[in-house]
Homo-oligomer: A and B are copies of this chain.
Amino acid sequence: MFAPRSVAVLGSVKPGKIGHQLLTQLIAGGFPGRLYAVNPGAEAPAEHPAVQGFASVAAAPETPDLALVAVPAAHAQGVVEECGARGVAAAVVFTSGFGEIGRLAEERALAETARGLGMRLIGPNCAGIMNTRARLFASIEVRALPGRAAFATQSGAVGGAVLALAETRGIGFSKFVSYGNRADVGEVELLDYLAADPDTDLIALYLESLHDGRGFMAAVQRVAARKPVLLIKAGRTSSGLRAAGSHTGSLAGSDRVFETMVRQTGALRVAGIEEMLDLCQGFASLPLPAGDRIAVVTNSGGPGILTSDRAEELGLEIPETSPELRARLAGFLPAQCALANPVDLTVEGTRDNYRRVLEEVLREEYDGAIAINVGTPFLDSRALAEGICEAATRYPRKPVAAVFMAGAMVEPGRARLNEAGIPSFPTGERAAYVLARMREHARHQERPGPKGRHRGAARAVPSGVSPQPLPRSSPILEPEAVEFLERQGFSFPTHDFVTGTGELEAAVGRLGLPLVMKVVSPQILHKSDAGGVALGLGSPERVQQAFRDMTERFSGQGFQGVMLYRQLSAGVELIAGLKQDPDFGPVVLAGSGGVLAELLDDVALRIAPFDRGEALVMLSELKAFRLLEGFRGQPPRDIGAAAELLAALSRLGLAYPQIRELDLNPVFVFEEGAVIADVRIISQPGL
């Protein structure tokens, strides 16, 4: 696919037609292999005498390694069959008019035909592929410059825009893949392919929707352990999702789960294509920062301040220079320079100043540097760039990002940096962003535990789940839900299901006082609102009275009895839950309970399954975590038990896909143990 010795272009090669453009691009890009034009008239473009025209693939003198299909939609199926029959190994189908306008059957037929004939297929409805090392430019978009980043995109238009923007900034790519409707090859396979590609140092991916969320998650996990994975996911908001044609139901929630996936896999999510290009530039050319401490070296104050502001806001540190370092800098810098970090060389900063200061800061105290030059017509930007290059070359394991502002004035300096492989950014703020995200990636790589099969990786049979049948009633009544969860190892207060007055006395004897009573009926969904909950029943008489009241109130409403629980003294309240996400399957939620739950959006998510360690991280993301730690003289709570509960929920979610929603609200976390005070399970027994 990406390194063909011969390429056939199927479709009209008349000027203005895609086939013609493709041949022109392939030739202009210097494709070293053989090119064939295949169309009913056996035409070949007059201006490309090296291209031979044939009326069919069968007529060509050899089997092309790659077919580029740019025929009308009605002919695509026939052309794919023809290619497969000749033994073509791979095809890129540019033709649109398939799944994207609802023609899913035609698209599936195309993919199945290819599969049946042993041919791999990219597209349909795509903008082609490029491999800059192989000089393969099988696309009508702007030809990518050579580089170390691979870019795969679901949207051809975004691909075109990225390539055009990248060209103006001098940013190159190893591979470009517009995979369109992914009838055959999709993002999962591409990720694995690019992860293994020796020409690719990082992978950027533009997505609008997912085909197989869990498969994608697993692939991102595998790949992110080896190479940075940058994700742009369009459709973060309801209008964006609408435009992306999403039918995933919960709109706002859906993006939150995607965000969780990004966090669990160690990928980096970026909001837009400018940020993506900045990161491509950084990751492709700089070593990862080994720590957070960044030095800013500038020849003008203002841009230095804006840079360190942004860097700190993004989690980097811009610590002051040590007294020792300051003394060394003062030894050779003129008096007007500021030495604290940012180090301001002033407009009189020379090539030598840049070199020596950068060498001093990189030697020990700092993990990386941003070097800023604000040009004036007086300054020789190339010489300053030279000084930066010298220092960066001397400390090749520390990242040095340059900022040469602005416009044509500093072009010679930028060119010099480019030769030396030092990225230069239009503003210091953007350089700070790049180092901050690179640091984020480095931190993820530094986390203990096996990479590539870690947090969230799906296991076929989750451990710790007892093979109990899920109650088949719908809704699942509280006594059944409690019994089911108890068998799975979840804790509840001591309790009893009581169906008649005669059983009350014995129950009070067993459970003790005070008690909580809750109505049991398939017709009563909101028990509190309906008056179906009685709290603080402190005497046998009050228990009797409450039972009589409920019997009366709910007679004729499916009354089956009441659940009695021993009332708990209040622990720290949490909420825990389980949901099925349409893309990623079971997702576990943890949040503040009580008053905080309604005041704050204090929620953490994880895609199942995950272990106790990950559950602890999850809890630590909550504002309520400080309550668990022991707050205002309160004792610390059993955080381990809460984490165990969440991890168990995640295993449960995988084992019982028929659980659509499960809410534990509240869960009381005590000094010892975590106990569920209310449960609701919504299931879809058909699954």
B309–A427 CB distance below 8 A: no
Which of A206, A239, A312, A336 has most B Cβ within 10 Å?
A239
Q: Which residues of B have CB within 8 Å of A600?
A: 600, 623
Residue of B nearest to A378 (CB): B16
A160–B376 CB distance below 8 A: yes
A406 within 8 A of B: yes
B243–A342 CB distance below 8 A: yes
A406 to chain B, nearest CB (A): 4
Q: Which residues of B have CB within 8 Å of A304?
A: 243
A541 within 8 A of B: no
Q: Contacts A599-B623, A600-B623 given; indicate if A301 touches B243 (C-beta within 8 A).
A: yes
A309–B236 CB distance below 8 A: yes
Residue of B nearest to A599 (CB): B623
In the assembly, what is the distance between CA of A558 and CA of B525, in Å?
A: 63
A344 within 8 A of B: yes
From A266-274, A457-465, A670-678, the one touching the partner chain is A266-274
Q: Contacts A376-B141, A377-B21, A598-B631 given; indicate if A165 touches B406 (C-beta within 8 A).
A: yes
Residue of B nearest to A127 (CB): B376
B234–A168 CB distance below 8 A: no
Contact with B along A467-497 (1 / 0, CB 8 A): 0000000000000000000000000000000
Contact with B along A444-455 (1 / 0, CB 8 A): 000000000000
A282 within 8 A of B: no
In the assembly, what is the distance between CA of A156 and CA of B599, in Å?
A: 47
Other-chain contact of A309, B240, B299, B377 (Cβ < 8 Å): B240
A337 to chain B, nearest CB (A): 10
B338–A243 CB distance below 8 A: yes
Q: Contacts A16-B378, A427-B274 given; indicate if A341 touches B239 (C-beta within 8 A).
A: yes
In the assembly, what is the distance between CA of A167 and CA of B271, in Å?
A: 27
A171 to chain B, nearest CB (A): 12
Contact with B along A284-319 (1 / 0, CB 8 A): 000000000000000111111110111111000111
In the assembly, what is the distance between CA of A308 and CA of B242, in Å?
A: 10
A627 within 8 A of B: yes
Q: Which residues of B have CB within 8 Å of A3?
A: none
Q: Which residues of B have CB within 8 Å of A16?
A: 378
A632 within 8 A of B: yes
Q: Which residues of B have CB within 8 Å of A153?
A: 302
A238 within 8 A of B: yes
Q: Which residues of B have CB within 8 Å of A196?
A: none
B242–A164 CB distance below 8 A: no
A161–B310 CB distance below 8 A: no
Residue of B nearest to A239 (CB): B318
In the assembly, what is the distance between CA of A133 and CA of B520, in Å?
A: 81
A429 within 8 A of B: yes
B426–A165 CB distance below 8 A: yes
A336 to chain B, nearest CB (A): 6
Q: Contacts A274-B426, A308-B239, A426-B165 given; indicate if A624 touches B599 (C-beta within 8 A).
A: yes
In the assembly, what is the distance between CA of A250 and CA of B153, in Å?
A: 47
In the assembly, what is the distance between CA of A301 and CA of B239, in Å?
A: 12
Q: Which residues of B have CB within 8 Å of A427?
A: 272-274
A374–B168 CB distance below 8 A: no
Number of copies: 2
A340–B595 CB distance below 8 A: no
A243–B206 CB distance below 8 A: no
Residue of B nearest to A596 (CB): B599
In the assembly, what is the distance between CA of A344 and CA of B234, in Å?
A: 15
A535 within 8 A of B: no
B305–A234 CB distance below 8 A: yes
A105 within 8 A of B: no
Contact with B along A340-379 (1 / 0, CB 8 A): 1110100100000000000000000000000000111110
Q: Which residues of B have CB within 8 Å of A336?
A: 101
Q: Which residues of B have CB within 8 Å of A587?
A: none
A104 to chain B, nearest CB (A): 15
In the assembly, what is the distance between CA of A168 and CA of B408, in Å?
A: 8
Q: Contacts A168-B407, A409-B142 given; indicate if A160 touches B312 (C-beta within 8 A).
A: no
Q: Which residues of B have CB within 8 Å of A158?
A: 300, 302-303, 306, 374
Residue of B nearest to A346 (CB): B96
A243–B406 CB distance below 8 A: no
Q: Which residues of B have CB within 8 Å of A335?
A: 101
Docked complex: A392-408 residues within 8 A CB-CB of B: 405-408
A208 within 8 A of B: yes
A10 within 8 A of B: no
In the assembly, what is the distance between CA of A598 and CA of B633, in Å?
A: 13
Q: Which residues of B have CB within 8 Å of A238?
A: 312
Other-chain contact of A301, B157, B317, B632 (Cβ < 8 Å): B157
A545 within 8 A of B: no
In the assembly, what is the distance between CA of A409 and CA of B157, in Å?
A: 14
A407–B167 CB distance below 8 A: yes
A308–B376 CB distance below 8 A: no
A320 within 8 A of B: yes
Q: Which residues of B have CB within 8 Å of A9?
A: none
Q: Which residues of B have CB within 8 Å of A237?
A: 308-309, 312-313, 318
Docked complex: A217-233 residues within 8 A CB-CB of B: 232
A109 within 8 A of B: no
A-B contact list, 17 entries, CB within 8 Å: A101-B335, A142-B407, A157-B302, A158-B303, A158-B306, A158-B374, A168-B408, A208-B302, A208-B305, A236-B313, A239-B317, A239-B342, A240-B308, A273-B427, A274-B426, A596-B596, A600-B600
Q: List the 3 closest pairs (A to B, CB-CB), nearest first.
A: A157-B300, A155-B302, A164-B406
Query: 20 new A-B pairs (CB below 8 Å) besides A162-B406, A164-B375?
Result: A158-B306, A160-B376, A165-B405, A165-B406, A168-B408, A232-B306, A235-B309, A236-B309, A237-B308, A239-B309, A239-B319, A240-B306, A243-B301, A272-B306, A272-B310, A272-B429, A274-B429, A595-B632, A598-B632, A599-B627
